Amino acid sequence: MTQSASNPKTDHKSEYLSEENSDQQVLASLLDKLLEKKDRILVQKTEMGGIEAYIGSTTLEWFASRVRFASALPLLQQKYNPETDNVEIDAESIDEIQQRPLDWSRQLPLVQYLAARRNHKFPPVLVVINQPWVDNLKATEWDGEGQSTKSTTDFTPLDKDGKFGMLDVSEENATIYALDGQHRLMGVQGLLELLKTGKLQRYKKDKSPDNTFITVEDLIEHYRVEPAYLESLPKEKIGIEFICAVAAGETRLQARRRVRSMFVHVNLMAEPLTKGQIAQLNEDDGFSIVARKIATINPLLEQRPDRQPRVNWNSATVAAKSTVLTTLQALKEMSERYLGQKFPHWKPLEKGLIPMRPEHEELEEGIQEFHKLFDYLATLSSYKILDYEDTPILRRFSFEKEGGEGNILFRPVGQVALAQALGTLVFRNSFSLENIFKKLRKFDREGGFRGMEYPKSIWYGVLYDPNKKRVQVAGRDLATRLLIYILGGIQENVERAKLRKDLATARTVENKTIGFDGNFVEPQEVGLPPIL
């Protein structure tokens, strides 16, 4: 006789699977209805470092049409150049700049990558959601203390823990900017333009055209891609992470600092920024903050309508014909080497780590100290000449076209060496700036900073390479020690002997040592310059 009774375990399992399948069908139906709304995106809420974010995905088509470059943020509009999609950096915009300049020469290679490589992959992008009220300080969303009463992200949770939900990205409520991923955005926009018009202009770095194009026919011919495949690309999806431009409880200044800091952080963890770009953007490094501030407020450096700019905000070097006095990168290094001896804790604990932003009071103290230094620098006769003379003639060597003074004070390497020497004397040896500059003013009047290309100069072979006839950065530390010595900061005989030996070595070219009179001498005959 056959038993027809069923297995209780099997029945329970079937019942469970049936209920689970039913729940999934209900959930799928609900999600389908929610996802039909084009103004909302299904996201997962995350939190890291106290910052809430929402992770989802969008089509390339949506990404290209809805996301803008960070330089187009309303607070940058005054200096925004719509032709290059970049912010023109100067003394006014440096405190507002959010991102490094776009390199438009990368657009076409990125488009080729997306269109020609079937296994292409862009990492997720990080974007900021802004709302119209952010730039209206009279809006009701700002309270009497200047703090936001709400966030610029509008998230509707779908679960009891608030981890999954819908993010409002409707055009009337949200304007979205690429914080990390601006070149990916550039590439996707180029791809959509190529597919729409059939061709794409190649650009140089500054978005000036170089009169060559890539066409859809080129892709089909050279990379053997099919038209149907190209037409499917706009529907591909890219990961996207949303953060708020302003969080509830933040002031506008706090929000801007947070966004700027995040830009630096994500880039430090990825492709390194140049030193100049980090100095522009860094909201954590006290030395960068002080350098930016002094570049805009100190009379020696500040931008005025009646004279040429005195700070190069982008490049690390000063071109031969440039009328600037220094660079932002040099100012940052001067700040670090001068103030770093008073505030050593401003430096990161280890190389590669992000420093902690100093407290406001300490930053203000650092700004005052650095401001004082530049006020004293302005009393040097070499810098007083700037009232009626441009910098090229003061920077050039005597043998160059139109001649010049060869003054180390107009070279970033000399400026940094001087700042480091003064930092040592002031903050380690307790010298007063007043007494130091009494000596330096006399030294300057007697030509001590000029003519580095002549053997009589103490900078010959140190900051000037007589063999290659150019400035040598490698001599900066020796120049710093020489400055400390002539200002009376080296007393120990052993240290003096080491300095004299290093100076003789620096003045030795092809096994021949050059004395201060221009004649060849034995290395031991090279003495130290007199103490001021």
The reported pLDDT for the residue numbered 291 is 94
Taking a C-beta distance cutoff of 8 angstroms, is the pair 410, 419 a contact? Answer: no
* 1 domain-assigned: no
Range of the domain at 349: 273-525
The reported pLDDT for the residue numbered 421 is 96
* 296 domain-assigned: yes
Do 413 and 512 belong together in one domain? yes
Last residue of a domain, one of 202, 226, 257: 257
Q: Could you tell me which of 237, 367, 208, 177 has the C-alpha nearest to residue 290?
A: 367
The reported pLDDT for the residue numbered 306 is 85
Do 86 and 154 belong together in one domain? yes
* 521 domain-assigned: yes
Do 249 and 330 belong together in one domain? no
Q: 98 Cβ partners below 8 Å, 6+ apart?
A: 70, 71, 73, 76, 87, 179, 256, 259, 260, 263, 281
Last residue of a domain, one of 257, 288, 310: 257
- Rounded to whole angstroms, the maximal C-alpha distance in the chain is 124
* 6 domain-assigned: no
Place of tokens 């909302």: 40
Do 175 and 282 belong together in one domain? no
Q: 504 Cβ partners below 8 Å, 6+ apart?
A: 513, 523, 524, 526
The reported pLDDT for the residue numbered 98 is 44
* 7 domain-assigned: no
Q: Could you tell me which of 382, 384, 529 has the C-alpha nearest to residue 460?
A: 529
Below-70 pLDDT ranges, the chain: 1-20, 73-100, 263-279, 281, 349-354
Do 217 and 117 belong together in one domain? yes
Do 376 and 410 belong together in one domain? yes
Number of domains in the chain: 2
Q: What is the pLDDT of residues 46-67, one digit of tens each?
A: 988 778 899 999 999 999 999 9
The reported pLDDT for the residue numbered 17 is 59
pTM of the model: 0.61
* 532 domain-assigned: no
Do 240 and 283 belong together in one domain? no
* 19 domain-assigned: no
Do 305 and 165 belong together in one domain? no
The reported pLDDT for the residue numbered 22 is 73
Do 52 and 81 belong together in one domain? yes
Do 247 and 322 belong together in one domain? no
- Concatenating the DSSP letter of every residue in 134-186 gives GG-TTSTTB-TTSBBSS-S--EEE-STTS-EEEEE--TTT-EEEEEE-HHHHH
Do 232 and 319 belong together in one domain? no
Q: Could you tell me which of 326, 470, 462, 476 has the C-alpha nearest to residue 397?
A: 470
* 26 domain-assigned: no
Do 369 and 229 belong together in one domain? no
Distance separating alpha carbons of residues 353 and 23, to the nearest angstrom: 48
Last residue of a domain, one of 257, 281, 311: 257
Quick one: three-class SS letters along 269-302? CCCCCCHHHHHHHCCCCHHHHHHHHHHHHCCCCC
